[in-house]
Each structure stands twice: as C-alpha cells, then as structure tokens.
Amino acid sequence: MNKQVAAIIGGGVIGGGWAARFALNGWDVQIFDPDPQAERKVGEVMANARRSLPGMVDVALPTEGKLTFHDTIAGAVDGAVWVQESVPEQLAIKHTTLAEIQKACSPEAVIGSSTSGFKPSELQEGALRPEQIIVAHPFNPVYLLPLIEVVPTEANTAAFLDGADTILKAMGFYPLRVRKEIDAHIADRFLEAVWREALWLVKDGVATTEEIDNAIRYGFGIRWAQMGLFETYRVAGGEAGMKHFMAQFGPALKWPWTKLMDVPEFTDELVDLIAGQSDDQSGAYSIRELERIRDTNLVSMMRALKAQDWGAGALMNAQEKTLRAGSPLAARVDDLDDVSAPLLTVHRAVPLDWTDYNGHMNEAKYLQAFCDATDRFMEMIGCDAEYISAGGSYFTAETHIRHVNEALAGTVIDVRTQVLSGAGKKMHLFHEMYAGETLLATGEHFLLHVSLKTRRPSEPAPHVLSALERVATAHAALDAPAGMGRAVGQRP
Ligand SMILES: NC(=O)C1=CN([C@@H]2O[C@H](COP(=O)(O)OP(=O)(O)OC[C@H]3O[C@@H](n4cnc5c(N)ncnc54)[C@H](O)[C@@H]3O)[C@@H](O)[C@H]2O)C=CC1
Ligand SMILES: C[N+](C)(C)CC(=O)CC(=O)[O-]
C-alpha cells in the first residue's frame, strides 16, 4: 500500500521535528531546505526521535516512512497530502515560500505554517488559494509534544479543518483550535510574558539563568505539566476553590509584581550576561546531548501521565486504542480461523523509561513485556477486564526468563506465545521475544486460574476453558521450544 506523503519546507529545528513525527508515524517525507547541512541536521533529529518516540505508547507505530531530500519546493510538494512550512520567522520569506508551494502542490493539500507569531490572515494575504493555508504551530520537540495550535480564518472551511484535525490526531497530536486569530496565538503569549520577566530578573541581578530554571523545574513547571494554570489555581484555592483563590490573589495583579509589557533593552551587555550564565549552567553538554536528556525526561514524565490516564498521557492512551483496533493485537481466539502457530501477544517498541545504566532494556522490563504478553493472551481467551471484574482471573505461580540478546530504546519487539499445556485450572505458557528474526529472550510461565473472591484456585468459566483448550490442542503439534524447562546454570 502506498504511504501518505508529507512535504517539509524548511528542515531546521522545527521542520526536522515535523519530519520525524510524520516519518515515524508511517508517512513518506519529502524535504526541501537550501542549507547544504540540512540532510545531516535532519538525520541527527531523526536519530534522537527514533530512540524516544516509538516507545511512547505500548503498541508499535506503523513502519517508518521514507525520507527524501529535494532540490526544489515543487519536487518536495509533489503528491503531498500535508505541506508544513517551517522557514525562518519573517513574513516576506513566508509569503514567497507559500507562493512557491501553492504553484506546485495539490489544491486539496493542507498547508500548515509553523509560525510562532504571524496570524493566518497575514499568511493568506495575496495567496493563490487562501483556503488551504492554516497556522499549525507546534512545540519543540515536535516529535514528542502533542500540542498543535491550529489557527484558521474564515477562508478555511469546517470540512477542511476537520480533515486537518483528523490527520494530526492520528499522529498523536492534540490540535487546539484557536477561536480568534491573534499575534503569537495562545501559548507563545505566556511564554513571552515569562521570558520577559526572566530577562528582567537576570538584568536586575535578582537571579541567574540557572536559579530561574530551578524556580521553574522544582516548582510550578512540573505542576503545570499535569494540570495547567486554572486547574492548579482551583486546587490552590482550598475547599472554597477558584472564587477564594481569585479573592486572595486578584489584588496582587495591581501590585508591581511584574514588569508587564516593559521589555529590557537587548544590549550586547545583557545578551553576553545571559549567554555567559547559560554557558556556565549547561555548556558542559552539546545541544544534541541536552536534547537527549530532555527527551528521556519528557518520555518518562509523559508515560507516568499515561499510567494515570491524565493530560498528555490520556491522549497517548487514545492514540494507542486507535493503533490497536483492527490489528492482530485486538483479535480474540474465537475470531481466529487458525491458531496453530504461536500467537502474537506484544508488538511494541522499547520505551526510553525501560532502559538502564547499561544503555539497554533493563531485565525487570523483560518480565513486564512477558506479563503484558500473558495479559494479552488471557484477554484473547476471554479472561478480559469484564471477566476479571466478575471475579475470575489467573495468578502466576512460576516464571523462568532467559536473556539471549539485548534490546535498545526504540527497537520494535514482538512476543509470540505458545501454549505448552492448558487444561482445567492450569495454564503453561512459553513466550518468545523477537526483534525482527533475532531472538531476544524467552519467558516460561505457569499460571493457575483463581477466584478473586476466595483467592483460591478455581475452574475457569466454560468459554475461557474451551478457548484455552483449543489453542493448547493446536500447539501440541508444535516442537517443544528451545529452552523449555531449563534450570538456571544449565548449559545450552
Ligand atoms: N525553534 C522553536 O522553538 C520554534 C519555532 N517555530 C517556528 O518554526 C519556524 C522555523 O523555526 P526554526 O525551525 O526554529 O528555525 P531554524 O532556523 O532552525 O530553521 C529554519 C530552516 O529554514 C531553512 N530555510 C531558510 N530559507 C528557506 C527557504 N526559502 N525555503 C526553505 N527553507 C528555508 C533554513 O536553512 C533552516 O534550516 C519559524 O516560523 C518559527 O517561528 C515554532 C515553534 C517552536
Ligand atoms: C520561542 N518560540 C516562540 C519560538 C517558541 C515556540 O514557538 C513554541 C515552543 O516550542 O516553545
């Protein structure tokens, strides 16, 4: 099947991030950037994205698309369904680039601009087809953060905007439709206000760049990542909530807490002061190293939110549900004509938060992956959430894991499950974990069906038992897997 094509016009920090997001979600990506270093730079962004994005959700993303570089805008936009403009933030350059794009692209394509500040009506001025241009403002790193501010004008139809939202959501983005166009949309208004205050604090010698960053990351920054501003302040109002919060802190808005719109003059002295402090603070790392530190932290935080089904984590769960639906990972044994081969129970990439000080998947996570495989197999035979809430389940009684090869962050792993025996209360499973054709590990697990009321072994419901027996009978014809029944220390 032909992949969908995205064109990236301008492959710098942001264009490179868009390219990675599209490619790792299975799109072919065609890039135009006049910088002779663009291919190397995008390659480095891709390398960081490959280690961080694929493992964010607990199911594999589509197979990575192809990245190609083109000498002209016309070449890059050929066949593109989405064209993302990410050239420098100057209106004249944006206009010339959008005109070039429109001369060659499909009239049906979405043209998104990454602009941080220009209004869509400014971008659409003098355009051949204003109705296909919108602001699609991302956040760095584009391959990990979900927010895209979608800012339309009246020229864009509802159907066109809904189509754009659908494409963005399928890639795990959160398209936030901005109701009225304004300079700098929504989020950059805040960022600029915070930045302005921070510049004053440094200029006035109140704090260094590092102290300001500490004030953010040890306090309100981490809080904002999960509840934003208003929900956080509602809680801060105590039992009386938002009204009490506003009564208490509203008057402070009139006190001289902030410098408001007053911008410190960008003298060489101020720039040198800030750049110097920033070098002292973070100069020991290269930018790519800082990006990797940032990505590891972001993935770990977002996956923690995923476990809580909250905020950015709830978005990831929604994307995962869509990716699972219709894949072999959604099938039940009763729906399958053929269960004679080991069954696919896990298909995912190794997430960054599964790796350890040895730079590979930590041993505890092999058990996690095999546990997920067992959960999935239980679901396949009908021991699903509904069955468990009615009081039946399986408990694991014994586990044996063999580590055969290592797996790095981003590696796609498959677990295939063979039923060694399944009768009555007993279920004996053998999981094999692969990266492509390479065996990474095996897990042998013996489980007993239990009643969650008595916490004692019990007979499974007939439909669960018959599905289990069907697979066990089919798998009885398979060879015994290598490593079955091994004890620790035994020679291969
Ligand atoms: N850096 C950031 O934090 C964010 C930037 N943005 C927006 O994204 C856009 C791009 O910004 P960055 O990626 O940061 O800049 P950048 O300087 O990293 O990249 C711009 C790229 O455009 C290329 N370029 C220059 N003229 C071009 C042309 N005529 N045609 C095609 N490519 C051309 C340059 O070679 C460069 O690779 C801007 O509109 C900016 O406001 C949006 C969100 C965040
Ligand atoms: C600094 N900036 C205005 C370019 C920032 C953005 O537009 C969004 C971001 O990623 O912070």
d(CA 216, CA 234): 20
Spatial CA neighbour of 356 closest among 374, 344, 368, 348: 368
Residue 440 burial by Cβ neighbours in a 10 Å radius (0-12, 13-18, 19+):
buried
CA torsion sign for 358, 361, 367, 368 is positive
d(CA 249, CA 240): 14
- Look at ligand 1, atom 19, and give the residue with the nearest C-alpha: 12
Low-confidence ranges of the chain (pLDDT < 50): none
Residue 259: the pLDDT is: 62
d(CA 264, CA 270): 9
Residue 58: the pLDDT is: 96
Does the beta carbon of 142 lie inside 6 Å of ligand 1?
no
Residue 118: the pLDDT is: 97
313 labelled as ligand-binding? no
Residue 240: the pLDDT is: 86
Ligand nearest 96 Cα, by number? Answer: 1
Report how far ligand 2's centroid is from the alpha carbon of 84 (Å). Answer: 16
Residue 489: the pLDDT is: 84
Residue 253: the pLDDT is: 77
Q: Pick the atom of ligand 1 nearest to 113's CA.
A: 39
Residue 283: the pLDDT is: 92
- Look at ligand 2, atom 4, and give the residue with the nearest C-alpha: 116
Q: Which domains does the chain have, with CATH numbers?
A: 5-177 (3.40.50.720), 187-284 (1.10.1040.10), 331-475 (3.10.129.10)
Residue 252: the pLDDT is: 79
Q: Pick the atom of ligand 2 nearest to 14's CA.
A: 10
Is the model's pTM score more than 0.90?
yes
Report how far ligand 2's centroid is from the alpha carbon of 116 (Å). Answer: 6
Residue 455 burial by Cβ neighbours in a 10 Å radius (0-12, 13-18, 19+):
exposed
pLDDT tens digits, one per residue of 379-421: 999 999 999 999 999 999 999 999 999 999 999 999 999 999 9
Does the beta carbon of 84 lie inside 6 Å of ligand 1?
no
pLDDT tens digits, one per residue of 11-69: 999 999 999 999 999 999 999 999 999 999 999 999 999 999 999 999 999 999 999 99
